[in-house]
Structure 1
Amino acid sequence: MIRVNHLQKTVDGNKKKVIRDISVQFSAGEMIGVVGASGSGKSILLRCLALRERWTRGDYTWNGENVIQGGGSGSQKYRFKCAYLEQNPSLYPDKTALKNVLIGQAGQTPLLRRLTGMVRSDDYMGAMDELEKYGLLDKAHVKAGNLSGGERQRVAICRALVHGASFLAVDEPVVGLDPKSAERVLDTLKGLCKEQNKIVIAALPLELAERFCTRIWGIHEGQLKIDISARRLTAEERRLIDMA
């Protein structure tokens, strides 16, 4: 279980609060949809939870172990347990899908491996297994720059899993995708929670959060206004997060 107490994030020399005193907890197997109007703080919340942003204030515990106390940054040990996936995943466009999965992102793998692509045979088999599991085996040797948006998202998911992530924070993963590709990406994320007991927290359009997630967080001006089991939001709940 991950527990967050009084998370606050300020920017512009501590003049502007973008996350305001959020306290929440979540557990393995949950797929949480984060919804709210543009500029409400969804992306910065995901980055804080995935330990990609320094907290101004707050406590963060993971299965009872202190990760952050009173603000600051989490240790590298816990950063490796988290993956932050952006709208347009930061893949190496001139390397194949397989190489992207194997060598990971800057800061996650040794410099020599990133530069040369040298990997062990068991790493290779593990990466191929993940690509096959998510319908990408035929894309393993295709350069990432030639993949579709949905395929790039699934490659990024495979990469996170191969490098040991148990918590995926995913920022608008279906923006720009056709409905079929979007559904496949969200089915992939949902399967991670149901079948592998991962945690997925994703910023999503409301209708998709209602359909695919087990829980919905509604964010308005950096505050957590709604925390419910996934269902259709009422008109009043939509007004609370400026989505009426």
Structure 2
Amino acid sequence: MFKVNNLKKSVEGNTKEVLHGISAEFEAGEMIGVIGPSGSGKSILLQCLALRESWNDGDYTWDGKSVIRGGGKGAGKFRSKCAYLEQNPTLNPEKTALKNVLIGQAGQTSLLRRLTGMVRSDDYMGAMDELEKFGLLDKAHLKAGNLSGGERQRVAICRALVHGAGFIAADEPVIGLDPHSADKVMTTLKSLCTEQGKTVIAALPIELAERYCTRIWGIYDGQLQLDVKGRRLTGEEKRQIDLA
């Protein structure tokens, strides 16, 4: 169980509040689509939930333990189990898909591994297993720079799983992808929730949120205006978040 209580976030030298007291609860296995107009606060919300951005106020509990007020140790432990997927995943284009999965992002792996690239055999097999699950086994030894956008996004998801992520915040993970690639990425994210009990919260176009998500959050002007089960939204619900 995750619980967000009165999350507030300011930018520009903490003079402009962009998230205004957001409160919500969610559980393992949920796939939540975050929708709203441009500038509504979707990206900064995801960064705060994945602890990639600090909070100005509020509390965040995970299985009853605070990861905001519990001090740096609590936040660090939680952050190691979170993954934040950017719109365009940061992969090393000169390294293979497999190497990108194994080395991971800063903070996920030891400095020695990042410098030497040395890995244990069980880590190697675990990475190959994840790549196979998501239809990337034949791409394992290709350089990331030669992969398509959808393939790079799925490599980033594999990387998160190999390094122990149980919670994934994805910022518009299908932006710029063709429909076929977008469907593959969304199916991959959905399978993490239904088959592995992971929690995924993703900023999405409204039609994909309606199609794939078990729950939809509507954000408008930094506030959570809508929190409903995943389904086709009504015209009135869309108007609440200026998407009608």
TM-score by length of 2: 0.97
Q: Which runs of 5+ in 1 are unaligned?
A: none
Q: Structure 2 matches for 1:156-171, cutoff 5 A? A: 156-171=156-171
Partners in 1 of 2:11 and 2:72 — Cα distance?
14
Distance 1:72 1:10, change over 3 A: farther
Gaps of 5+ in 2: none
Determine the C-alpha separation between the residues in 2 that align with 1:14 and 1:135: 44
Distance 1:200 1:86 in 2: 13
Partner of 2:192: 192
Whole-Å Cα distance in 1 between the matches of residues 109 and 63 of structure 2?
Answer: 25
Q: 1:62 to 1:70 in 2, by over 3 A?
A: closer
Question: How many residue pairs align between the two structures?
Answer: 244
RMSD, aligned α-carbons: 1.4
CA distance in 1, matches of 2:15, 2:212: 37
- CA distance in 1 between partners of 2:121 and 2:131 (Å): 15
In the TM superposition, what is the alpha-carbon distance from 1:70 to its structure 2 partner? 9.5
> Residue 66 of structure 2 contacts residue 74 of structure 2 at CA under 8 Å; is this kept in 1?
no
Structure 1 segments (4+ residues) deviating >6 Å: 70-73
What is the TM-score with the length of structure 1 in the denominator?
0.97
* Residues 1:106 and 1:71: Cα distance change in structure 2 (over 3 Å): closer
The corresponding residue for 1:61 is 61
Distance 2:241 2:234 in 1: 11
Q: Distance in 2 between matches of 1:85 and 1:31?
A: 15
Aligned residues: percent identity? 75
Q: Write the distance in 2 (CA, Å) between the matches of 1:204 and 1:71.
A: 32
**Cα distance, 1:236 vs structure 2:** 1.2
2:3 corresponds to 1:38: no
Say yes or no: does 1:182 pair with 2:202.
no
Report how far residue 73 of structure 1 moved.
9.6
CA distance in 2, matches of 1:233, 1:109: 42
1:75 CA displacement = 2.1
1:170-225 deviation line (CA, Å, top 9, x unaligned): 00000111101100100000000000000000000000000000000000011000
